Amino acid sequence: MTGKRMSFAIFGNDYKALEPVQIREVTDYLTERNAEIYIEQLFYRALRKVFSGNLNIAGTFDGVNFDVDFAISMGGDGTFLQAASKVGAKETPIIGVNMGRLGFLANVSPTEIREMLDDIYKGNFSIDERSVIQMELEGEPVASNPYALNDIAILKRDNASMISIRASLDGEYLVTYLADGLVVSTPTGSTAYSLSNGGPILVPHTGTISLTPVAPHSLNIRPIVVSDDVVIRLEVESRSHNYLVAVDGRSGKLREGTVVVIRKAPFKVRIVKCRGYHYFATLRDKLMWGADTRERED
């Protein structure tokens, strides 16, 4: 890769623009390598407020209007999900620099930035491909981005009563959930919203999806894990006659009677793995498995 002039699209958020040291380190490194640097437009505007001097970039971009070799997400997992939603079917490899707190997806620490970029230019890296799910609405188009790397959630609105969600898998009736909502999660998203509702942890590349109810009315209702090849059909009834659907946190209102169909997307999100990354080690570290949380005596 050393003989090719490489190009990078950088994503971030306004809050992290107030911590410009790592961002400057990335842009300086790539400038030294004569790379083409493009920065997401809103993030660039935030950076201009805190940076002194010029940023040596090839340009800015808005939405999905970019075509590069690599995307760089600078923030937490929320920023990574935003970047993944913009990359979409392009399947551009994403480098996740963790400037947040937890960082399951953004797995490169700020101290590892230069080492990671060195490896990129040497071709010394691997790609972790993660499955994606997509939302469809029967009989009508989806107005927003329908793809989720983490999860798609059906939720009641604000203080409304619980909703009824009739779920079918490949045309076979499963159950009707009476609950505050339902989270349909990929393995990647199983350590996010689904986990906080008692859902199972799904190991990546297992070809599975979980359905986890949110505050179900019946204690007999439990999460279920199914093959990611199934087509999930959800019919929702609500006393308020509408409900919310959140696709990786991007929420919108749907009217009662709108049928949601969820299936595996025809592409995957490609994550650049940092050197020494191991999924189970990350799981132990982030969830503090085995840690003694009892108060220690001096």
Q: What is the pLDDT of residues 6-31, one digit of tens each?
A: 999 999 987 655 567 788 889 999 99
At position 35, the amino acid (one-letter code) is A
d(CA 44, CA 8): 14
- From the number of C-beta atoms within 10 Å of its C-beta (0-12, 13-18, 19+), residue 12 rates as buried
Q: Which amino acids are annotated catalytic?
A: 77
Amino acid at 31: T
Q: Per mean pLDDT, which range of 47-51, 57-61, 207-211, 213-217 is the poorest? A: 47-51
276 pLDDT more than 60: yes
- Cα separations in angstroms, 100 against 106, 186, 223, 285: 8, 22, 29, 15
- pLDDT at 134 (0 to 100): 98
Alpha carbon distance 287, 192 (integer Å)? 11
d(CA 121, CA 3): 9
Domain with CATH 2.60.200.30 in the chain: 132-265
- pLDDT over threshold 70, residue 53: no
Measured in degrees and rounded to the nearest 5, phi and psi for residue 115 equal -60, -40
Determine whether domain 7-125+274-287 maps to CATH 3.90.180.10: no
| Nearby residues of 127 by Cβ (< 8 Å), 6 or more positions away | 93, 270, 271, 272, 273
CA 28, 31, 33 angle in degrees (round to 5)? 115
Min mean pLDDT across 12-16, 197-201, 265-269, 283-287 is at: 12-16
Length of the chain: 298
Q: Is 140 exposed, middle or buried (0-12, 13-18, 19+ CB in 10 A)?
A: exposed
In 3D space, the residue among 132, 155, 157, 156 whose CA is nearest the CA of residue 145 turns out to be 132
Residue type, 193: Y
Q: Per-residue pLDDT for 235 more than 90?
A: yes
Token code pair at residue 272: 């650049």
The pLDDT assigned to 293 comes to 63
Measured distance CA(224)–CA(276) in Å, rounded: 32
**How many angstroms separate the first and last alpha carbons of the chain?**
54
Q: What is the DSSP string of 42-67?
A: HHHHHHHHH--S----SEEE-TT---
Alpha-helical runs (H) found in the chain: 20-32, 41-50, 77-87, 113-122, 193-196, 279-287
Q: Is 125 helix (H, G, I), strand (E, B) or coil?
A: coil
pLDDT tens, 175-230? 999 999 999 999 999 999 999 999 999 999 999 999 999 999 998 999 999 999 99
Q: What pLDDT was estimated at residue 262?
A: 98
Per-residue pLDDT reduced to its tens digit, 72-118 = 999 889 999 999 999 999 999 999 998 866 678 888 888 888 999 99
Per the structure block, which two tokens stand in for 7?
A: 């190009």
Pairing mode of beta strands 7-11, 70-75? parallel
pLDDT of residue 265: 97
Please tell me the predicted confidence (pLDDT) of residue 76.
87
pLDDT of res. 88: 92
- Is-contact 3 65, C-beta < 8 A? no
Nearest alpha-carbon partner for 132 in 203, 50, 187, 77: 187
Out of 37-51, 122-136, 280-294, give the one with best mean pLDDT. 122-136
Q: What value does the mean pLDDT take over residues 248-264?
A: 95
Q: C-alpha angle 2/3/9, rounded to 5°?
A: 70
The 10s digit of each residue's pLDDT in 149-183 is: 999 999 998 777 899 999 999 999 999 999 999 99
Q: Cite the residue boundaries of each domain of the chain with CATH code 3.40.50.10330.
A: 7-125+274-287
- Judged against a pLDDT cut of 60, whether residue 257 lies above it is answered with yes
pLDDT of residue 49: 81
Under CATH, to which class is 132-265 assigned? mainly beta
| pLDDT exceeds cutoff 60 at 263 | yes
Beta bridge partners of 8: 37, 70
* Banded pLDDT at 54 (limits 50, 70, 90): confident
Average pLDDT, the chain: 90
